[in-house]
Structures are given as structure tokens and as C-alpha cells.
């Protein structure tokens, strides 16, 4: 009970504005929750950060917020609102239901040249836009790129971005980011240009897209550095000559010989099939839209022009700006504009508060004989100091017959759960939650050579195991009986493997022995095993990860039953989920653990349920 009330107090700033749903990502000092913007019914992601936990990372958070306030690009995750309280930061950002680009690669083993080109053009457009505004991202990797429901990419995580005061030609010194994507000059500790290290990371990223594994990879961090400094990597036979040349141009050890962002935008490989170079609109202020302003004006009871003047001056800290941007996004996606009826009462209250403040000032001025009313107050008084009837005369756009609103986008096809019912008097919006989006922070990756084909499918090498996909529209049935596993049902599956065994306890014991064999710590609760490759030290929780820090990864393996796959009986499956840490380490660990679980291992004593297992 104390925990619930404590949570309500901490998140009181969101009450009535956003309906929080489940957690879709977490890190060392932040968590990301799926939420609904009450007045539009649109889904958003809210990054919640405890100021006490931030410590030395606080300046990085402020830098990220300031950057996102400036950045407006179709392939950069949009910032809608920032709410700051004494104890927390709340960043309301665009929700991308498609998950990480990394998971998209895993599902397909590797991407074709055509699909890689499509994605890479979007990444290139976003990075070129960043550089044009004087920003370097410095942490480009598949885990920091999300997909929306239409599989358009969105660049996220600007906690390590830099904006040199003297421009992009100014040298930087801080070594940060993920080692497997780090340029040689970063490893050597030399001064570097932000644009040049971003180009190197993009070369590694393109290689990962088309090959399914990293160009520079090793279990030892020292060996990894040597490989990066040598600049030597394998070129698989399926890569075309033009692809090889482009990757070589980006993975040049000498940064001065590295291809530039302008040359990349016009490169023949980039323009193939599209017939035009990569371009972007250089803007840092959101556009004016009369339709959106009219929709809001009808509810707010405020002139569209006056409202626009306030929005232009907004620093993304007010709810009205978030409403405008969400409506603008709806229009850009070809959807109808709408605001729920609950917005009327909110904006009415806000409006009356403004009027009361003005009237108070006017009354004070009239009582003070030596004080003359300013022309501004006179003008405002003539507009606002109306009769109560006029003040309450708010217009509202036409709404459907149903009182509850839901977003009509196809987001509803992405792993919804039953709608969270809310008291009618509290709000008019109901929402469906979607596939969780991880918000992990990269740590050094160290995949062994034997697992270089990381994206060849986690189930590779599993004897007597058939692969099915985890339902994007997955229904998870919680069992009251802790002795029975959960049942998953649905179509369009991913991240779940079905086994030929009909005994979930036997499969669980195989997984436990495999984890023990790999020396991985785990915590068991029922049919769920939570493991981590290494203990997370305080340094590992820092956003700025020095290259000497160790790789760490935590994940979850759940033995479950799969419904609807076989007509006669349920199949036993294994569900995988990365909790936090480096994605490539997670991929390697799951690949090896599941392969070992399929082997006939000698029987060993088992730890009891709910116990801490040193395996």
C-alpha cells in the first residue's frame, strides 16, 4: 500500500494529462513507460528519471533535453513535452511500436541490400541533419534506432551527443559510446571530430545490417581494440562489390581518408534504386498548421493566432504544445484531427486561471492611484473580462457517438493487451498497450569468434527444436497455479522457440544446466529464469561508458506453453527477453545457452524455486 501511494505522489505531475501503462524499458537511472496522452488518445513513451539517481549524469540529461527541443526530423524521435519536478524529470517522447532495429535484424538473420539501403538512407538523412545543426550523436548503433508501425526508423538516445561551441570542425576529447562501434581515434584517446566518429559508427552499422554480425568483434576487449586499430575485417561473399567499397570508405583508420557526410549523401550505392541523393529539410522550429490550430481553438476558446504566438515561444514544458505536436503528427500521417471532451474542462480551467490573474492585476491597479494600467493589460482586459456566459462559451469539434476515444492507427495490431478501464468521470480516453520498446544503454560487446554468425537465428544448433515466432498480438495467460507455466497464444510470433518436449519442467532443468555450464548467475521464479552475465557495478550504470568497462547483460528466459501451434496438444516453448545491457552480448549468450539446453547433459542437483542460483 505504501508503494502505491508513493508512486502516485512521485508521478502526480502526470495526473489528468497522461495515463501511465506498463514499463517498456529500463536502465540504470531511468525507466520508460507506455502512456496515453489523455486529450488526443495518442500513445506516447514517457522517460522517467529520478534526479537523486542521476548524479553526475544530470548534465547529460539536460543536454539531451535541449538537443531534442531543437531537433525536428522525420527520422529522429520527437520530443513532445518535458515536465520537471523537485524529484523527477519526465520526458514525453514519440512512441515507436516496431521495437529496436537490432531485433528487426535478429528476426531476419540479415537484411537484403535493398532493405539495408532503405534503412541506411533514413539513418543518413537523420545524421546529416544532426551535423548540419552542429550536433554529433556519438552512440550510433542498432539498439539506439527504433522502428514505427510503418517500419520507418527513428533515432533515439542523445545522452552522449555533443555540440561544440565553435562548430563541427572543433575537436572533442571525451571517449564514450560502445567499443564495437568506436573509431580508432577514440580508442587511442586522441582528439577527434564528432562527424568523423559518427561516419565510422555508420560503417559498422551498415555492415551489421547486411551481414548479421559485427566487423570487429572479440571476447577480449584488448583483442577487440587490436582488430579495430588494424582495420581488417571479413567481407562475406554475399556482399556486392559496391557495398564492400562503401563500407571500406567509412571504415578507414585514418579519419582524414574517411568519406564525408556530403559524399555519402551522393554516393552511387546510396542513390541506386532511388535515383536521388539523400536530402533533408533544415529546420529547428515546428511548422504552423491552421487546421490543427483551428481544432485546438475550438476547444480552448482562444484565437488561433494568439495560440500560435504562445506555441512559438514554448520551450516544450507545457501540455498545450504537446497536444499541438501530437495533432500535427496525426495530420502528417493522414489521420483525422480530434480532441477528447475532457480537454474542454482542462483548458477552461486554465483559461479562467489566466483571467483571474489579469483581473487581480487590474483591481490592484485601480486601487493604487499612483499606478496606471498598462496598454497591454487594457487590451487583455477587453478580450478576456467578459461575462461568465462568454467565458464558458467553449466550442468543441464534432466527436463520434462513442464517448471513449482510441487511436485508429494500425498500432492496435502490435501486441495489444486488454484495454485498461478507467472511471468515466476521470477521462474519456482508453488505450491499448503495444509491444514493449527497450531503452537499454550499450555496454562493451565481446562476442566470441565461434558465435560470429550472431544473427543466424538464436535457435541454430538446437536439436529437436522447431522455431516459431512470438505473437506480436500475443496473449499471455497468467496461471494461478505456480506449478504450471504461462500459456502464450496468437499469430505472428517472434522471440519464442517451440521444443519437441512435452514436459516444461524438463525443459526448465535443461535451461538451468545450460546456464550453470556457462557460469551465468540466475534468479528463478516459477518458470522464469533471470540471468546476467556479470555483476553490474556502479560504473556500469553511468551513461558515459569508458572503454575499459566490462560487458554486462541481463536477460529473461521463460518456459511457457504455446497454444494454437498444434491441433492435439500444447507445445512447450522458451520465450527470450533482453532486460538491459549490450544487445550483441545478449544475442551471443542466448544462442549458446539454447544450444547447450538442447544437448543431453548429465543430471545435476537443482536449486529450489525462488532461490539465488550460482550457476
Provide the annotated active-site residues: 139
Alpha carbon 522 to chain centroid distance?
Answer: 26
Query: How many angstroms separate the CA atoms of 299 and 305, rounded?
Result: 14
Phi, psi of 495 (to 5 degrees): 70, 20
Are the beta carbons of 164 and 139 closer than 8 angstroms?
no
Angle at 284 between CA 282 and CA 288, to 5 degrees: 100
Q: In terms of C-beta density within 10 A (0-12 exposed, 13-18 middle, 19 or more buried), how is residue 471 classed?
A: buried
Q: Which three cell numbers stand for residue 83?
A: 515536465
Query: How many angstroms separate the CA atoms of 238 and 247, rounded?
Result: 14
Angle at 96 between CA 95 and CA 98, to 5 degrees: 155
Query: How many angstroms separate the CA atoms of 549 and 179, rounded?
Result: 10
Query: How many angstroms separate the CA atoms of 345 and 425, rounded?
Result: 12
In 3D space, the residue among 97, 27, 49 whose CA is nearest the CA of residue 407 turns out to be: 97
DSSP 334: T
DSSP H or E run through 24: strand 18-26
In 3D space, the residue among 539, 500, 527, 531 whose CA is nearest the CA of residue 514 turns out to be: 531
Query: How many angstroms separate the CA atoms of 591 and 324, rounded?
Result: 45
Three-state secondary-structure class, residue 523: strand
Q: Which three cell numbers stand for residue 463?
A: 536439436
Query: How many angstroms separate the CA atoms of 125 and 73, rounded?
Result: 9
Q: Which three cell numbers stand for residue 157?
A: 538516445
Count of residues in the chain: 615
- Residues contacting residue 439 through CB under 8 Å, at least 6 positions apart: 24, 25, 26, 27, 30, 31, 32, 47, 156, 157
Are the beta carbons of 440 and 545 closer than 8 angstroms?
no
Alpha helices in 314-370 (DSSP H): 319-332, 342-367
In 3D space, the residue among 282, 294, 206 whose CA is nearest the CA of residue 246 turns out to be: 206
CA distance readout (Å), 277 to 75, 78, 268: 16, 24, 9
DSSP H or E run through 573: strand 571-581
Q: Which three cell numbers stand for residue 71?
A: 531537433
DSSP 118: H
Are the beta carbons of 595 and 462 closer than 8 angstroms?
yes
DSSP 12: G
CA distance readout (Å), 126 to 132, 261, 270: 10, 11, 14
Are the beta carbons of 497 and 459 closer than 8 angstroms?
yes
In sequence order, the β-bridge partners of residue 528 are 525, 558
Three-state secondary-structure class, residue 596: helix
Amino acid at each position: 500500500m505504501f508503494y502505491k501511494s508513493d508512486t502516485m505522489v512521485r508521478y502526480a505531475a502526470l495526473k489528468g494529462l497522461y495515463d501511465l501503462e506498463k514499463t517498456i524499458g529500463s536502465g540504470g537511472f531511468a525507466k520508460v513507460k507506455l502512456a496515453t496522452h489523455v486529450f488526443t488518445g495518442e500513445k506516447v513513451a514517457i522517460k522517467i528519471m529520478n534526479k537523486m539517481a542521476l548524479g553526475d549524469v544530470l548534465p547529460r540529461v539536460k543536454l539531451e533535453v535541449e538537443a531534442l527541443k531543437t531537433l525536428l526530423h522525420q527520422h529522429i524521435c520527437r520530443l513532445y513535452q518535458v515536465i520537471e519536478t523537485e524529484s523527477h524529470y519526465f520526458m514525453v517522447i514519440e512512441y515507436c511500436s516496431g521495437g529496436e532495429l537490432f531485433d528487426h535484424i535478429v528476426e531476419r538473420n540479415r537484411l537484403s541490400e535493398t532493405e539495408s539501403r532503405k534503412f541506411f538512407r533514413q539513418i543518413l538523412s537523420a545524421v546529416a541533419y544532426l551535423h548540419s545543426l552542429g550536433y554529433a550523436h556519438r552512440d550510433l548503433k542498432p539498439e539506439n534506432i527504433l522502428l514505427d508501425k510503418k517500419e520507418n526508423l527513428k533515432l533515439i538516445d542523445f545522452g552522449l551527443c555533443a555540440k561544440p561551441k565553435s562548430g563541427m570542425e572543433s575537436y572533442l576529447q571525451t571517449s564514450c559510446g560502445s567499443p564495437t562501434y568506436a573509431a580508432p581515434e577514440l580508442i587511442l584517446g586522441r582528439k577527434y571530430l564528432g562527424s568523423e566518429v559518427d561516419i565510422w559508427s555508420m560503417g559498422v552499422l551498415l555492415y551489421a545490417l547486411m551481414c548479421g554480425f559485427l566487423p570487429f568483434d572479440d571476447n577480449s576487449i584488448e583483442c577487440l581494440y587490436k582488430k579495430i586499430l588494424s582495420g581488417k575485417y571479413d567481407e562475406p561473399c554475399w556482399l556486392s562489390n559496391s557495398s564492400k567499397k562503401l563500407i571500406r570508405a567509412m571504415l578507414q583508420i585514418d579519419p582524414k581518408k574517411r568519406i564525408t557526410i556530403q559524399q555519402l549523401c551522393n554516393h552511387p550505392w546510396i542513390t541506386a534504386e532511388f535515383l536521388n541523393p539523400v536530402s533533408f529539410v533544415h529546420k529547428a522550429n515546428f511548422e504552423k498548421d491552421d487546421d490543427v490550430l483551428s481544432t485546438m481553438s475550438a476547444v480552448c476558446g482562444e484565437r488561433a493566432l494568439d495560440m500560435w504566438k504562445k506555441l512559438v515561444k514554448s520551450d516544450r514544458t507545457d501540455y498545450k504544445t504537446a497536444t499541438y505536436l501530437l495533432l500535427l503528427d496525426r495530420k502528417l500521417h493522414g489521420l483525422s484531427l480530434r480532441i477528447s471532451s475532457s480537454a474542454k474542462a482542462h483548458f477552461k480551467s486554465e483559461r479562467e486561471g489566466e483571467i483571474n490573474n489579469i483581473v487581480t492585476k487590474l483591481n490592484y491597479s485601480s486601487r493604487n492611484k499612483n499606478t496606471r494600467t498598462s496598454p497591454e493589460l487594457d487590451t487583455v482586459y477587453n478580450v478576456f473580462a467578459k461575462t461568465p456566459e462568454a467565458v464558458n462559451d467553449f466550442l468543441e469539434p464534432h466527436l463520434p457517438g462513442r464517448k471513449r476515444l482510441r487511436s485508429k492507427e494500425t498500432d492496435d495490431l502490435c501486441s495489444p493487451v486488454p484495454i485498461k478501464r478507467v472511471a468515466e468521470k476521470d477521462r474519456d480516453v482508453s488505450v491499448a498497450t503495444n509491444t514493449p520498446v527497450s531503452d537499454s544503454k550499450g555496454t562493451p560487446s565481446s562476442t566470441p569468434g565461434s558465435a560470429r554468425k550472431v544473427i543466424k537465428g538464436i535457435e541454430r544448433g538446437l536439436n529437436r527444436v522447431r522455431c516459431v515466432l512470438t505473437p506480436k498480438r500475443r496473449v499471455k495467460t497468467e496461471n494461478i497455479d505456480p506449478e504450471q507455466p504461462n500459456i502464450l497464444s496468437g499469430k505472428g510470433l517472434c522471440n519464442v522457440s517451440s521444443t519437441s518436449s512435452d514436459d516444461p519442467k524438463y525443459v526448465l532443468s535443461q535451461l538451468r544446466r545450460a546456464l550453470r555450464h556457462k557460469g551465468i548467475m540466475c534468479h528463478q521464479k516459477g518458470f522464469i529464469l533471470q540471468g546476467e552475465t556479470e555483476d553490474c557495478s556502479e560504473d556500469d550504470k553511468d551513461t558515459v561508458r569508458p572503454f575499459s568497462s566490462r560487458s554486462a547483460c541481463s536477460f529473461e528466459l521463460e518456459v511457457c506453453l504455446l497454444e494454437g501451434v498444434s491441433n492435439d496438444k500444447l507445445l512447450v516453448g522458451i520465450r527470450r527477453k533482453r532486460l538491459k545491457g549490450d544487445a550483441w552480448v545478449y544475442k551471443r549468450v542466448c544462442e549458446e545457452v539454447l544450444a547447450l539446453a538442447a544437448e543431453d547433459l548429465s543430471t545435476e542437483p537443482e536449486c529450489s524455486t525462488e532461490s539465488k542460483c550460482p550457476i
